[in-house]
Copies of this chain bind each other. A is one copy, B any other.
Amino acid sequence: MRRLRPIVAWLGLMLLFPAGSFAAEPPVSEATSECVGCHESVTPGIVEDWKRSRHSHVTPGDALKVAHLARRVSAESVPEPVAAKVVGCAECHTANPEAHADTFEHNGHKVHIVVTPRDCAGCHPAERTQYAENIMSRAYGNLMHNALYQDLAASINGIQTFSGGRMSSHAPGEGADAESCLYCHGTEIKVAGSHARKTAMGEMTFPTLSGWPNCGVGRVNPDNTLGSCTACHTRHQFSIEMARKPYTCAECHKGPDVPAYPVYEVSKHGNIYAALGKGWDFNAVPWTVGKDFSAPTCAACHASLLVSREGTVVAERSHRMNDRNPWRLFGLPYAHPHPVSPDTSFIRNGAGLPLPTELTGEPVALVLIDAAEQATRRNAMQKICRACHSTSWVTGQFARFEETVKGTNAMTLAATQTLMSAWDKGLAKGPAQNDSPFNEPIEKMWVEQWLFYANSTRFASAMAGADYGTFANGRWYLSKNLREMIGLLDSGLHGADNTALPAK
């Protein structure tokens, strides 16, 4: 077998170079040829990009012939004539024209601007179905239809003005939300009308979109679908290599609120990837542990179909990204078992707040997965760990992690109790005083306690990125911030909202 390697490698190389250079041109539909005819002048970058893609080289018909684990399409069949032509501009941008409110007449074609999960599902229906169960697909509504989160967002993005010695807050503009929270969560894209514009090809009419541009994971599309496949499978190469590399996840999982990427980067896994990843095969399907890659990226643990060299399945492909996560590390404000439904906007805790835990930490059990489901997910994850690590290694790692979930929740509770004491003493105004819990200094310290420091400490624990969880953004600040909150409480100062100091 070893002697075959160079030959296999050579064959592999033949696949890397456009088939055209050795045999026949891939069959492009007439409609796509028309698109390319103009757009290689008008938007040359994306046309060239597409030319490098697998979509431009393989027809769905050929993709369907590939045997089970190596197959990249989940459809049982694809209707002619789609099956016979490579997937080009027209195949996506003219699919399902009736469903798209942004469909417009463009050089004799019914084109839509925003390609959606509905369009991709022609060939990839399983991925669409799984993704619809992914909490990320609901990221828009889960944020925008939750009054508490809306209040937090407004306290961050709103413009503040100083006048007469007082600070006033104003609602954030649409652009501010769109380029911060909603860049990742997704905007709602609506057709607001149409407009004519002079182009190199003469005057043309285009739909006017609001909420555009956006490629967020929970985008509300003009065809009423949710999500944007291109958030991870970037246009117009749609490269599996890119989706498997950690930079893609980092676009939304890098900041101190959900620091998966900086934790990964400083972990042993991230170190191996950075040092040796240049030689790995990021395009292989299925993805063979040890052979194609020596250490996991985000995708390996959370999404990809993994097999051993012997062909045993280590992990099933999943686009419901929390399939292997027993806990939702992202505390709101406490870490908790994952919500059962991807739609969390209807959740209310015992106090009536739209949170999956009480302010004092108890999970809202009814809407969260139970211990059995947690065990199932833990086992699915540990099976991946065990592809390289001994059982005792894995057990030890998870024991520490469970301890950290408890410990960081305790440190969040202490901060919450400090804040509630400040509210009680009138040093700050909370919900009981009909005021935002997010707009005064001690409240902002409380937010940082759970959103930055507890979250970071947990991510660092889960993915063994110790350095990040210690001094960079974890335990040092988790303990220091709490002492400063107590210090502020003791000082009798509140200093927010420009109200007078309490009498001493």
Tell me whether B19 and A5 are in contact (CB under 8 A): no
Interface segment among A45-53, A121-129, A138-146, A332-340: the answer is A45-53
Q: Looking across the interface, which residue of chain B has its beta carbon closest to that of A388?
A: B45
Known: A176-B475, A444-B483, A490-B498. Contact between A310 and B390, CB under 8 A?
Answer: no
Residues of B contacting A46 with CB < 8 Å?
290, 388
Tell me whether B289 and A275 are in contact (CB under 8 A): no
The distance from the CB of A70 to the nearest CB of chain B, in whole angstroms, is 13
A113, A289, A294: residue with the most chain B Cβ atoms closer than 10 Å:
A294
Residues of B contacting A272 with CB < 8 Å?
234, 242
Tell me whether A183 and B392 are in contact (CB under 8 A): no
The listed residue (B254, B399, B413) touching A472 by CB distance below 8 A is: B254
Tell me whether A212 and B464 are in contact (CB under 8 A): no
Q: Looking across the interface, which residue of chain B has its beta carbon closest to that of A39?
A: B390
The distance from the CB of A460 to the nearest CB of chain B, in whole angstroms, is 7
Identical chains bound together, number = 3
Q: Looking across the interface, which residue of chain B has its beta carbon closest to that of A46?
A: B388
Interface segment among A9-17, A318-326, A350-358: the answer is A9-17
A272 CA / B7 CA spacing, docked (Å): 28
A348 CA / B243 CA spacing, docked (Å): 51
Tell me whether B389 and A276 are in contact (CB under 8 A): no
User: Does A130 lie at the interface of the complex (its beta carbon under 8 Å from any beta carbon of B)?
Assistant: no
User: Does A386 lie at the interface of the complex (its beta carbon under 8 Å from any beta carbon of B)?
Assistant: yes
Tell me whether B1 and A9 are in contact (CB under 8 A): no
User: Does A468 lie at the interface of the complex (its beta carbon under 8 Å from any beta carbon of B)?
Assistant: yes
The listed residue (B180, B404, B467) touching A466 by CB distance below 8 A is: B180
Known: A44-B289, A212-B393, A417-B162. Contact between A251 and B268, CB under 8 A?
Answer: yes
The distance from the CB of A94 to the nearest CB of chain B, in whole angstroms, is 16
Interface segment among A73-81, A150-158, A371-379: the answer is A150-158
Tell me whether A290 and B44 are in contact (CB under 8 A): yes
Tell me whether B17 and A6 are in contact (CB under 8 A): yes
A464 CA / B182 CA spacing, docked (Å): 12
Interface residues in A196-241 (C-beta closer than 8 Å to B): 197, 199, 206, 208-209, 212-213, 215, 234, 237, 239, 241
The distance from the CB of A193 to the nearest CB of chain B, in whole angstroms, is 12
Interface residues in A45-68 (C-beta closer than 8 Å to B): 45-49, 52
Name 11 interchain pairs, CB-CB below 8 A, sorted by A: A160-B410, A167-B486, A176-B475, A179-B464, A209-B392, A209-B396, A242-B276, A252-B466, A253-B467, A254-B467, A487-B494
With contacts A43-B386, A486-B497 known, what are 6 further pairs, Cβ within 8 A?
A12-B12, A40-B310, A44-B308, A45-B290, A251-B268, A487-B496
